[in-house]
Amino acid sequence: MPATPTVRQAFCISDSLSLFVPEWEEPVLARALVALATKASPAICYVGAAKGDQPERILAFYQLAQRVGFTPRTLNLFTPTTDDPDAYFAGADIIYVDGGSTRNLMVLLREWGADRAIRSAYDRGIVLAGASAGANMMFEWGLTDSVRTRIDPIAGLGILPGTIGIHHDSHPRRPEALAAFLDDPRATGPVFTIDDGVALHFVEGCHAGTRKRRENAGWTWSKLPSRMRVC
């Protein structure tokens, strides 16, 4: 029997609060993420480095697992049990990289070799998901307020082509910062903007669908003509 071809998928969420919704709200985005694994109770590995591996958020992740139906695991880069990148995501069906400081996240991933482990897992068909900083991490470029007084462009891992503008509706400076960066020769296309409450699904690097926590949340797609990847 021929081997099942590997399909690379990514799930980019603007804000982590749209995954960790209150108990009275249907967890639409969390259920959509779990469904991408196409198996019962998939193993999801939580990466909370951007938030300093906060115990409260890890607890919320385990509570979400009970509610939605997945097997929770964690990769803690502040108190690690191994420094072997090959072991970080062993047995995982989905990797979820939480929000927080994109700048700190990128430093920690590279220091511990988790950047290479994430890319390798994605290439093997493990679903890669991230919110806020975790979404920035996937693209060639994103925007971050890691320094709270400004919004700066930041290079991600380039797993997905182009530039992402997360939290696009959360502050008027974000659209301005994105517009300014798109005049920079470093900027790459395609260019996505996502309001809080929006998740974009990618298959083999191409946008394949959109899910929303709230119907009035928006997203956009545009291109930088000379640098756009054709899907």
Residues tagged active-site = 132, 167
Query: How far, in Å, CA of 177 to CA of 192, rounded?
Result: 14
Of 37, 38, 43, 16, nearest to 27 by C-alpha is 16
Which residues have C-beta within 8 Å of that of residue 153, sequence separation ≥ 6? 141, 142, 143, 144, 177, 181, 184, 186, 187
Q: Kindly state the helix (H) or strand (E) to which residue 88 belongs, with its residue range.
A: helix 85-88
State the residue for tokens 């307020």.
145
The distance of Cα 125 from the centroid of its chain, to the nearest Å, equals 15
Query: How far, in Å, CA of 160 to CA of 4, rounded?
Result: 23
**Which DSSP symbol is given to 81?**
S
Residue 210, exposed/middle/buried by CB under 10 A (0-12, 13-18, 19+)? Answer: middle
**Which DSSP symbol is given to 60?**
H
Query: How far, in Å, CA of 175 to CA of 143, rounded?
Result: 10
* Total number of residues shown for the chain: 231
